[in-house]
Structure 1
Amino acid sequence: MNNSNKKRWFKKWWGILLIILCPYLLFLVILQSNLDKKKKIIFLALFGSFILFIFLITALEPSTEEKIAKEKKKQEQLKKLEQEKAATLEQETKINELENQKRKMNLEKEVKLKAETEKQIDNEIKQSSSEILLIVSNDDKLFRQDFKLMTNYLADNYSYDSILEAKKIAVNNINKSQYSIEKLKNIKCNLACNNLNEVKAVFIKLYILRIDMLKELIKFADASYGIENIATIPEEKIFRRKVIEYTEYQNKIISFFENIKAERETHE
């Protein structure tokens, strides 16, 4: 009776303190309690499961050293990523600089090439214009003398002999004009062809009109054989019309001729 009424150790203050300090003593508390066997088994299983759960958590939880190592590894990975990112940015910066330098060099090459091309065009215009002016100037000087002489022959009341002399001058100058046309056409051009072709076309037309005029003079001379009143034949009127046409065109291109000459002197 005294033993049953005696207070158990886990009900005393120091027993409770021990249980708080060492929870594993609950295992003894369950065994020494007044619970029936079935309840003891259930509580022991629950307590054992709890202890096992705590043990597993404790066992699976990484140690302080592992945590430190893991954190260190994480920091190293972050540092490596930052370094890779910095290296990528540096590489992109270098690539952009290279591309900018390349664009700058290409632009400089284009500017230089454009300047060289313009210089070549100027030189070609200068050279070709000189050739054109030389051909036209020489021919024009000689033809003016022949044209004046031919006009004098035709002003001699249209005598047949004077017309024949004018015809000889015409035949000679037709050949010269045709040769001059070929010389103009054979002037080479590479870069300034559009400009030079326009200039050549102007003077080639002058020679064509000259040839047409001289051919009409030859027709007029041939048709005048045996004709007493030569001034009445149709060929004479056609020839006069061709003279006017040629003279008007010649006067028209004098200013053009002078501009070409002045431009050449400017280039020089």
Structure 2
Amino acid sequence: MQVVHTISALRELLQGQTSVGFVPTMGFLHQGHASLIRQARQDHQTVVLSIFVNPTQFGPSEDFASYPRDLEHDMQIAQEAGADLIFAPDVREMYPEGFATSIEVKGAALPLEGEKRPGHFSGVATVVLKLLNIVGAQSAYFGEKDFQQVAVIRQLVRDLNHPTRIVACPTLREESGLAMSSRNSYFTPEQKSRADVIYRALMASRAAFQQGERNAEAILEAGRVVLAREEELKLEYFTLVDAATLQQVEVLGERDHRLLVAARLFNVRLIDNMGLL
């Protein structure tokens, strides 16, 4: 496995490659990231992993400076999972002096995270489009934990006719059900043991649906009851949406629906989601 830090070095190594799978990350890898690498390895001859903590998707009061970073640890996980190349640029490589372009996606980017974190998806869309153009992969792999982000990226490539195929892979979870995330490292062990409340709330709402409930408010209330038991949790949103459009629904029909949640627990921001079936 090789590690490169410049666009020119990466492109030189990829010259002539016709089967490339790409896994974009912000590093501090865990087994959720490893599962994406393994899927890319299964599908393609060459696997590229990027590690870049992108400053443009962080708000002014968010955790860009403190976001966990450990390249040596990342290299070990990436190699064990089957990556061939790591692209680890610095900020100046991605945003050189005079950089003055940004991508604004509407549609899927407007509700939920788009409302809570203004400018976030513009930063995501800009860096993802840059990375897709730099790597030139046939497929790019993203985790479903960031369900809205996947929807935004799919809209981006569809609207701009980008040839890279976007592959969404299932969320990996801790034994407790907590979705794997680099930010879980912010928790103390005792705090982490209480973070499964998000998963338990999602499961409660799904159970209501599976027991025959079709009113969205009633389904959500089953989960809210669970969330209300955790006094340290500050809920930002807990909603039920059409999985294709991310628009809220009131009565469930035949289309696919998704529960989405964002909350702060011990000042750590968690997002998660779950299908109803």
TM-score range, shorter chain: under 0.3
TM-score (norm 2): 0.19
Q: TM-score, normalised by structure 1?
A: 0.20
